[in-house]
Amino acid sequence: MTTYSPAEAAALSGFSLDTLRYYEREGILPPVARSAGGHRKFSEADLGTLGFLRCLRDTGMPIEKLRRYGALCRDDSTVRERIALLEEHAAAVRHEIEELLRQQTRLDEKLAWYREQAHP
């Protein structure tokens, strides 16, 4: 089984070492295995979890919801609650995309107007 040092996990996930420690301390990331010397060893599964957490953060999920998601993932009986949390976040992301598209349309309209004024 391949394991990764914290520095490797940080580089591969795009999170800082401080963020990895924070996510583990706050329960967002499940406890990471440790070597005999007490050093954290990240597994492929940990990297997969970090990849999904990166997706959630990049889509604007607040830390409190990440914390809730992390807590839910520790209990196999919470699949429905995880679905509900992710559906709620997906709806928020869709709303934000729709708003950005409306803003993009307004921006395009203003640019067209300026271009028309610049080249009568």
What is the pTM assigned to this prediction? 0.83
CB within 8 Å of 29: residues ≥ 6 apart: 20, 23, 46, 49, 50, 53, 70
Return the pLDDT at 12. 95
Q: Give residue 1's pLDDT band: very low, low, confident or very high (50, 70, 90).
A: confident
- Tell whether the model's pLDDT for residue 49 goes beyond 90: yes
pLDDT over threshold 80, residue 120: no
Q: Are 10 and 16 in contact, with CB atoms under 8 Å apart? A: yes
pLDDT value at residue 102: 98
pLDDT at 119: 86
Which pLDDT score, from 0 to 100, does residue 50 have? Answer: 96
CB 73 within 8 A of CB 86: no
Average pLDDT over residues 78-90: 98
What is the rounded average pLDDT of the residues 40-54?
A: 95
Report the chain's mean pLDDT, rounded to a whole number.
Answer: 95
The helix-helix angle for 17-25 and 6-13 (nearest 10°) equals: 100
